[in-house]
Amino acid sequence: MMSTPSNNHSGVSVEVRGLRRSFNNQEVLKGLDLVVRPGEIFVIMGPSGSGKSVLLRHIIGLEAPNAGEILINGESIQTPGVMNKYRMAMVFQSGALFNSLTVGENVGIYLTEHHLRPPEEITRIVAEKLETVGLKGTESKLPSELSGGMKKRVAIARALVIEPQLILYDEPTSELDPISAVVIAEEIFELNRRIGVTSLVVSHDRDLAFGIAHRIAVINEGEIIAIGSPDEVKRSSHPVIRNFLHADFKPQ
């Protein structure tokens, strides 16, 4: 499934420089540096508690670092107005759907709440994005009527409504059965292939990472211990990576 990034990308670059973050005197991120290229599927892997999700929240602007900076297309997100300049969306681990709203209302909520489009146009956009993720005709359903995989796809459709340049995924295949996990991985891959959006994925799912990533970074205890193509990471001799990828994993 893996391929080179789309040449017709609409994505942005992301650069992390010397990022540090502490909680209760415990340093969680220890001077991270990495660059995500426009239109790339970049996967961040690592053991539980290694700092993956904390990094993701900093990139989307939900948390501020103690030191270091994050740049989108070369502009620091700490500069006033920069976060509003680029279209970024996040697909949360739980999907984060509103149970009291229908699928259609969940997908269109950003456009509706900010009065960005007339109602009939929002209806058209919602239908288009649901069809994109294989959920045509589900607008009137409630989240309680959906499977876990369908909820994740609704969350992706909601992200697509804003025509994002960057999508951040936090454990997109967690709590899914293997078949549903494959569907979500294929959806991320196909979005990159069709529209070239930059995708930054935090995941413990080895099959997803080595199946769709252009590059992978492995984080351990707040530090990047490997970064490169899937094949390069597979060949790493670092003991933490060997343990994380399981003892029976053999480089190809």
Which segments of 94-177 are extended strands (E)? 166-170
How high is the pLDDT of residue 206? 86
**Is pLDDT at 250 greater than 60 in this prediction?**
no
How much is the pLDDT for 10? 76
Q: Is the pLDDT of residue 6 over 80?
A: no
Percent of the chain with pLDDT over 90: 59
Determine the distance from the C-alpha atom of residue 248 to the mean position of all C-alpha atoms in its chain, rounded to a whole number: 28
Partners of residue 21 on adjacent β-strands: 29
Whole-number pLDDT of residue 246 = 60
Q: What are the sequence ranges of the domains in the chain?
A: 1-87+166-252, 102-163
- Burial code (b: 16+ CB inside 10 Å, e: under 16) for 45-55 equals bbeeebbbbbb
Greater confidence (250 vs 242) lies with 242
Q: What is the DSSP string of 12-54?
A: --EEEEEEEEEETTEEEEEEEEEEE-TT-EEEEE-STTSSHHH
Question: pLDDT grade, residue 76 (50/70/90)?
Answer: very high
What per-residue confidence (pLDDT) applies to 3?
Answer: 53
Neighbours of 10 (CB within 10 A): 16
pLDDT in tens, 63-75: 999 999 999 999 9
Q: Which is more confidently placed, 116 or 66?
A: 66
Helix, strand, or coil here: 223?
strand
Mean pLDDT of 20-45: 94
> Looking at residue 69, what is its pLDDT?
95
1 burial (CB, 10 Å; 0-12 / 13-18 / 19+) is middle
Give the strand pairing for 26-36 and 14-23. antiparallel
Q: Is the pLDDT of residue 251 over 50?
A: no
> Does position 4 have pLDDT exceeding 70, yes or no?
no
pLDDT tens by residue, 177-226: 888 889 899 989 988 888 889 999 999 888 889 999 999 999 999 999 99
pLDDT at position 252 is 35
Homologous superfamily (CATH) for 1-87+166-252: P-loop containing nucleotide triphosphate hydrolases (3.40.50.300)
Tokens linked to 196: 């070239």
pLDDT over 70 percentage in the chain: 92
Are 42 and 218 contacting, i.e. CB atoms less than 8 angstroms apart? no
Helix (H) or strand (E) holding 202, with range, is: strand 198-202
> What is the residue-averaged pLDDT of the chain?
88
The whole-number pLDDT of residue 249 equals: 40
Q: Identify which of 54-63, 68-77, 109-118 has the greatest average pLDDT.
A: 68-77
Tens digits of residue pLDDT in 221-243: 999 999 999 999 988 888 878 77
More confident residue, 174 or 17: 17
Average pLDDT of the residues in 27-33? 95
Confidence of residue 96 (pLDDT cuts 50, 70, 90): confident
